[in-house]
């Protein structure tokens, strides 16, 4: 079963700004992995604003060729996927995954929850008609190519892709984690999924940091509980959000909500978690062009 929140995260490729990606990741993680028993906080909603002026019409007509005194003609889904695939860019592979995924969701729900989240409203009849026109030619082959595009993006470190790779489960089948946990292919997929997330978290990709923090909070189908790991990622998010959030805005990762996690660690484990977090924060400040200390 696909959770609606995974669709929100997959819209990262269409958002701008690392703060937006991080905020959406926090919401995903709090929904996707149940909190550990005994004292875990309620999910904390993090506000995120989308860029203004986006419309589904412009989204569909990106590659359109205008004719004189005529409305632009939307390019077919097949043609758009062909152009994205031909570029060889991992960001375009992620865009191709999103195009196909949007069509699958739209054909099932007659709406795009991720787009509506971004716009802050429901889709209009015109927008739905345009999406239907784009997705009407969706083929089984394109559906089968979807996870290949995502794997390419995740392997290359496209922000958000590693989290979605994890959420899809082994080869698109989350039930394999329960039904075939000892299958060598499933075990290899777990190592790949966590390895991709860890590499991206070490580079301060905040979606991956948030995903790993929540994954390590409890025993799960992919990783076992690791409180020191979780706390290190939590501290990194806390410091980054101190940089991101406006004065007076409550940091959702402060001790008021997470003191129970810190209490599980020895002083030595807390020190190691702090060092791991600091390394991530330094990377993030480098990427963001912020002072190393502040």
Tokens of 161: 């892709």
Quote the pLDDT of residue 105: 95
Query: Does the pLDDT at position 284 exceed 70?
Result: yes
Residue 98 in this model has a pLDDT that exceeds 80: yes
Confidence band for 275, pLDDT divided at 50, 70 and 90: very high
Residue-wise pLDDT tens digits, 211-257:
999 999 999 999 999 999 999 999 999 999 999 999 999 999 988 88
CB atoms within 10 A of CB 187: 13
In what helix (H) or strand (E) does residue 180 lie, and over which residues does it extend? none
pLDDT at 95: 96
Structure tokens at 174: 């989350």
pLDDT beyond 80 at 24: no
Give the max Cα distance, the chain: 72
One DSSP character per residue, 150-197 reads HHHHHHHT-TTHHHHHHHH-GGG-THHHHH-TT-HHHHHHHHHHHHHH
Kindly tell me the burial class for residue 258, based on how many C-beta atoms sit within 10 Å of its own C-beta (0-12, 13-18, 19 or more). Answer: buried
In this prediction, residues 125-138 reach a mean pLDDT of 93
pTM for this one? 0.75
Q: What is the CA radius of gyration of the chain?
A: 20
- Check residues 15 and 78 and name the one with the higher pLDDT: 78
What mean pLDDT comes out for the span 2-11? 40
**Mean of the per-residue pLDDT values for the chain?**
81
Q: Tokens representing 257?
A: 């909500």
Under a CB-based contact definition with an 8 Å cutoff, are residues 236 and 209 in contact? yes
* pLDDT tens sequence across 108-129: 999 999 889 988 999 999 999 9
pLDDT confidence bin for 65, thresholds 50/70/90: very low
Q: Which of 30-44, 145-159, 170-184, 200-214 has the lowest mean pLDDT?
A: 30-44
Residues β-bridged to residue 73 = 65
Question: SS in 3 state form for 205-219?
Answer: CHHHHHHHHHHCCCC
Whole-number Å distance between alpha carbons of 104 and 112 = 10
The pLDDT assigned to 75 comes to: 82
Question: pLDDT band at 291, cuts 50/70/90?
Answer: confident
CA separation for the pair 26, 15 (Å, rounded) = 15
């Amino acid at each position: 079963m696909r959770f609606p929140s995974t669709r929100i995260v997959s819209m990262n490729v269409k958002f701008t700004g690392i703060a937006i990606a991080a905020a959406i990741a926090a919401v995903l993680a709090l929904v996707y992995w149940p909190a550990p028993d005994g004292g875990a906080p309620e999910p904390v909603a993090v506000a995120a604003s989308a860029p203004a002026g986006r419309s589904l019409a412009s989204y569909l007509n990106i590659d359109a060729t205008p004719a004189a005194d005529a409305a632009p003609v939307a390019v077919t889904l097949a043609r758009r996927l062909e152009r994205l695939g031909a570029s060889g860019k991992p960001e375009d592979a992620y865009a191709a995954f999103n195009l196909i995924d949007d069509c699958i969701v739209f054909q099932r729900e007659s709406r795009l929850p991720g787009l509506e989240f971004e716009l802050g409203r429901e889709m209009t009849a015109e927008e739905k008609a345009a999406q239907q026109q784009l997705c009407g030619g969706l083929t089984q082959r394109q559906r089968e190519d979807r996870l290949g595009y995502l794997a390419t993006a995740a392997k290359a470190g496209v922000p958000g892709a590693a989290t979605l790779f994890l959420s899809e489960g082994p080869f698109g089948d989350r039930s394999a984690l329960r039904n075939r946990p000892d299958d060598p292919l499933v075990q290899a997929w777990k190592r790949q999924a966590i390895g991709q997330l860890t590499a991206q978290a070490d580079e301060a990709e905040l979606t991956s940091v948030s995903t790993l923090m929540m994954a390590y909070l409890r025993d799960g189908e992919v990783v076992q509980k690791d409180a020191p790991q979780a706390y290190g990622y939590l501290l990194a998010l806390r410091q980054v959000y101190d940089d991101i959030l406006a004065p007076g805005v409550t940091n959702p990762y402060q001790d008021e909500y997470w003191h129970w996690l810190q209490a599980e660690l020895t002083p030595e484990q807390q020190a190691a978690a702090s060092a791991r977090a600091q390394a991530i924060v330094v990377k993030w400040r480098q990427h963001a062009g912020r002072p190393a200390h502040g």
